[in-house]
Structure 1
Amino acid sequence: MTMTPFKGRHALVTGGNRGIGRTIAASLVKVGATVTIIGRSPASLEEAISRGDAHGAAVADVTDAQAVRRAVQEAVDRYGPVDLMIANAGSAASAPFMKTGPEVFRQMLDVNLLGVTNMAQAVLGSMTERGFGRIVAVASTAGLKGYPYVSAYCAAKHAVIGFVRALALETAKTGVTVNAVCPGFTDTDLVAESLDRIMTKTNRTRDETLAEFVKHNPQGRLIDPSEIADAVLWLCGEGARSVTGQAILVAGGEI
Structure 2
Amino acid sequence: MEWSTDLSTYPTYWHSRLKRGFGLGTGSNYRPWLRVRDVPSDGSSGNPKGITTGRTYHLLSKLERIYFHYLDRQPDVVDIREQFPILALSETQSLCAELGVKHPAAGRYPEPFTLDFLVTRQKEGRLVYQARSIKTPGDAADEKTRAKLNVEYQWSERNALDWKLVDVSGFSDDLQSTLVFMRGWFSHRYSADERIANDFSQMFLKLYEPNVPLKELIQACASRMKRGYSLAQNDFRYCAWSGLIPVKLNSKLTMHLPVTLDGKR
TM-score by length of 1: 0.27
Which structure ranks higher in relative contact order (CA pairs < 8 Å, sequence separation ≥ 6)?
1
| CA radius of gyration, larger in | 2
Higher helix share: 1
Question: TM-score w.r.t. structure 2 length?
Answer: 0.26
